[in-house]
């Protein structure tokens, strides 16, 4: 797969590179990124180097892109968003955002860009995008709920975070689902 930069003029999604290593390391020190994702704790420079080599590079080669979220074409990394393989025609969306950029609609914009590209016939032409998050991650649930994802339930002990089983919320969006707010989510998502 060739690299795709996605933008709506407010948010830019580009492939993260070695030039972003120090910024990614700094971002991954955020307690909420560590609480709700599977990043190693403590998070070190070697973790970002490994991420670029073992996740980003093969992801782009295998139609499972990882984008850095930026607020201009040349700005620093403010978050990450990716589509991990989950079988033929399916990917799992995952993301995080820096504290200073939360609550401004950037993640919703990024999710819209990724879903539009993922479902487009000249993009990835996916049949399904799923989302999973540790139960209680309301900001993540709110972001996908606003972008057409339908709540599918709770996977009890469905995930592993740093060696411990955790319950996960599960949702998905299909290409026929409109991108707006979806009802049927548990409160307070």
CB atoms within 10 A of CB 78: 22
pLDDT, tens only, 10-36 = 999 999 999 999 999 999 999 999 999
Helix (H, G, I), strand (E, B) or coil at 153: strand
Token duo for residue 30: 């955020």
pLDDT, tens only, 120-155 = 999 999 999 999 999 999 999 999 999 999 999 999
pLDDT, tens only, 53-85 = 999 999 999 999 999 999 999 999 999 999 999
CA distance 154 to 157: 9
Q: Where are the domains of the chain?
A: 6-127
The arrangement of strands across the sheet holding 150-161 comes to 6-7, 12-14, 66-70, 79-85, 90-97, 128-134, 164-173, 150-161
Q: What is the CATH class of 6-127? A: alpha beta
């Amino acid at each position: 797969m060739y690299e795709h930069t996605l933008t709506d003029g407010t948010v830019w999604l580009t492939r993260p590179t070695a030039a972003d290593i120090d910024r990614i390391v700094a971002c991954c020190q955020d307690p909420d990124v560590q609480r709700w994702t599977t990043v190693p704790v403590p998070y070190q420079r070697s973790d970002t180097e490994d991420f670029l080599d073992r996740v980003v590079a093969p992801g782009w080669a295998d139609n499972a892109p990882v984008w850095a979220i930026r607020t201009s074409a040349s700005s620093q990394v403010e978050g990450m968003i990716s589509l991990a393989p989950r079988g033929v025609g399916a990917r799992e969306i995952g993301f995080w955002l820096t504290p200073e950029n939360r609550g401004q609609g950037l993640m919703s914009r990024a999710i819209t860009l990724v879903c539009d590209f993922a479902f487009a016939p000249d993009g990835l032409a996916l049949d399904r995008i799923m989302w999973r998050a540790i139960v209680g991650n309301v900001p993540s649930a709110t972001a996908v709920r606003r972008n057409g994802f339908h709540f599918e339930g709770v996977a009890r002990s469905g995930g592993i975070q740093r060696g411990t089983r955790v319950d996960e919320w599960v949702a998905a969006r299909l290409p026929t689902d409109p991108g707006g707010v979806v009802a049927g989510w548990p409160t307070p998502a």
